Chains A and B, each alone.
Chain A
Amino acid sequence: MKTRNSLPAVFLAPPLAILAVLAFVPTAYAIYISFRNRELSRPDGSFVGLQNYLDLFSDRRFLNAVGVSLTWEVVTVTLTLVVAIGLGILLFEFASSRMRAVMTLLFLVPVILPRVSAAFVWKFAFHPLYGIVTYPYKAITGQPLDLLSSPATALMTVALVDVWQWGLFFAVIVLKLLETLPPQPFEAARLDHARSFEIYAYIAIPMLKAPLISLAFIKMIESLRAFDLIYVMTRGGPGIATETLDMYAFSQGFIESGRISYASSMAVLMMVATTVIFTVIWKRVKP
């Protein structure tokens, strides 16, 4: 009996130990060096207390990066869910089962593409001289359309690519969720002359509240990791218009200054902020 009870621990201990080493050691080290003034070119850093954290709040690039990251999160999560729910319902309502199968396959392609490849493909598609997306505008107006070079449109343009990858994938999930719902509430609503919009707004979506909240959280976490997409498409530019927190931290740590302590303080702050914010949101919206 005793052997049976200890078996789960025997299996769980090694992966948990590996996970602890992989997750906690870098985190602990990041926290440790965030209190120092270590730079890549000078390994002899000293303890500086909270100085790195205090410096962040007078750094215009950091404050800008916080704003860009928040905008990115809100825009990509909201648009992804809107696109996913909209397309999912359209497919459920109007597509035959054969058409659904075909569309499902097509909708899965963008998310299968490696992020960097998708970024390169779309970067060329948005090129003002050769881009397929900008070509119609150029053909009609005679003027090139440089969406990635304008501070007003660059972030939204990159966000479109993110939504293209994840919105279509989530649409497939929403479709499959809708297919699992029992038909009786829908039939009852139709007998009561409810319109399609009302059926989905007041019956289907509330019934899917729990999985949709889970999808929103998955996308929130995924959106925090959009570094590769933004890096390839704009490198944080023009200027600092698309520079998110992770990109600025990377710039400070490895591209520009080699100030890894300063970069770590940003990473630690981001970790604490996301943990707190996600916990609060989770507790408030918990289905």
Chain B
Amino acid sequence: MKTVKTLVSSIAYACLLASSVSSIALAAECSGTIRVLAQPRDGLTLLEDYKDEFAKLSGGASFEIDYLNENDRRAKTKADASTIGKYNVYYVDEANIALFASSGWVVPLTDYYPSEYDYADFDPGRQKVATYDGKVWFAPITGGGDLMVYRKDLLEAAGIKPPTTLDELKVAVKALHQPDKGIYGIALRGQRGSGANVWRWMPYFKGFGGEWFDGSTPKFNSEAAVKATETYLDLFQYSAPGTKTGGWDESTGAFTSGQVAILIESTPLVGMAIDPKSSQVAGKVGYLPPPTPLTGGGYGHGLAIGTKANADDASKACAGLFIAWATSKENEQRRLEANQFSELNRTSIMTSETFAKLYGPDLGQALADTGKVTAVNFWQSPLWPDLGDRWGIILEELIAGSRTDIKDGLNELEGFAKDLVARSQ
């Protein structure tokens, strides 16, 4: 019976794939190489095994993906899109999509995204961050919010319940911090950048009621920002060594190597932490939404169609087809089968039986719970990367101790923000 079921589902799956392929193939007449500038993602690497499938689907086109780490990818995409425009597809994110869209460096995605690929199936939160000025600009390749991941064994040994409030978190982090035994209470991000230290600081800022702007008037120089910074610096006393100038890699690396008790990070961390191939603490990990009142940092990264390299509609359609294929249900199913948790974005996949079987009901519940506190923490403006990066430098100075006056740092940022807004008008 099971064999028959498998056979039937395989035939159905093949028919679905064949029908979508044939309908698109009729329309698509692409050739040459679609050039993609991205940051390393297992899901994108996996695509490279299926180049022949895309060639068949597109009528002969191939693709080439260049990878750069997050900060370098941001710098290079900005430089390329604003000058020569060598890449047909850019990897963009929630923080720079407003800049790319308002500068005309990318085109609205849904104009060239074949309807058969069902854009509406993407997680609604990720659709939201991919939307700017009422238009959809990218198809998600990763995204989500925050989760608090903790070492069950360490908390149990210390008789500490998983913290659900910020006050409880502070107490737990302090109690679990045992550097002489190679265990650190928490790991934070100190490295400068709107997507680095500022990203992890923002849940405190928004959680304390902070706001970035009211129209074009800066509002962030407030009690909430001071309190958020004090709290962040206070917690940094218990952060693992190397994180003062470290980002995602250093924090998650310290946790998965068994040196951190509690970590609040973006949801892909869970996939890494519970996978024995990438984690020495797999099997000892619990997860919950971030403690109250912290908000989760809602984010989404994805692929967008470059304007300059795709001079005509046909090129844009080919780039759109590549993006649709790369983020299709079929490819996402392959990512699920390859245990690439952080690369899953479609509701149909995340609510599937395979997902539940692979990751268990607890993670599904934690993801659903954290979805309720996930928010857009950053200022949704083309000017955000500039402002966020400047605050990242000041924050890194405060963390490293080369500056100590928080209020003075915020005053400097406010002056910078006023200049920034004036320059843009």
The interface residues of chain A, by DSSP majority, are classed as loop
What chain B residues lie within 8 Å of A151 (beta carbons)? 400-402
B390 beta carbon closer than 8 Å to chain A? yes
Q: Which of A226-252 contact B (CB under 8 A)?
A: 234-241
Asked if A239 contacts B382 (CB within 8 A), the reply is no
Question: Looking at the complex, which one of B74, B79, B242, B385 makes contact with A129 (CB distance below 8 Å)?
Answer: B242
Contact A256 to B396, CB < 8 A, known contacts A41-B382, A237-B245, A239-B402: no
Asked if B400 contacts A241 (CB within 8 A), the reply is yes
What chain B residues lie within 8 Å of A238 (beta carbons)? 190, 244-245, 396-397, 399-400, 402
How far apart are the CA atoms of A129 and B190 in the complex, in Å? 16
Q: Which of B166-182 contact A (CB under 8 A)?
A: 179-180
Closest to A233 in B: B245
Task: List the one stretch of A142-150, A206-214, A264-272 in contact with chain B.
Answer: A142-150
Number of interface residues of A (CB under 8 A): 31
Asked if B180 contacts A142 (CB within 8 A), the reply is yes
Closest to B242 in A: A128
B389 beta carbon closer than 8 Å to chain A? yes
B240 beta carbon closer than 8 Å to chain A? yes
How far apart are the CA atoms of A234 and B247 in the complex, in Å? 12
Asked if B78 contacts A149 (CB within 8 A), the reply is no
Asked if B191 contacts A237 (CB within 8 A), the reply is yes
B217 beta carbon closer than 8 Å to chain A? no
Shortest beta-carbon distance from B100 to chain A in Å? 9
0/1 interface trace, chain B 313-345, chain A, CB 8 Å (1 if under)? 000000000000000000000000000000000
Asked if B190 contacts A149 (CB within 8 A), the reply is yes
Asked if A127 contacts B399 (CB within 8 A), the reply is no
Shortest beta-carbon distance from B90 to chain A in Å? 14
Contact A149 to B403, CB < 8 A, known contacts A239-B393, A256-B385: no
A254 beta carbon closer than 8 Å to chain B? yes
Question: Looking at the complex, which one of B76, B257, B390, B396 makes contact with A237 (CB distance below 8 Å)?
Answer: B396
What chain B residues lie within 8 Å of A237 (beta carbons)? 191-192, 245, 393, 396, 400
Of the A-B pairs whose beta carbons lie under 8 Å apart in the complex, a sample of 21, sorted by A's number, is A37-B423, A142-B179, A144-B242, A146-B241, A146-B242, A146-B244, A149-B190, A149-B241, A149-B245, A235-B71, A237-B192, A237-B393, A238-B244, A238-B245, A238-B397, A238-B399, A239-B394, A241-B402, A254-B78, A255-B389, A256-B386
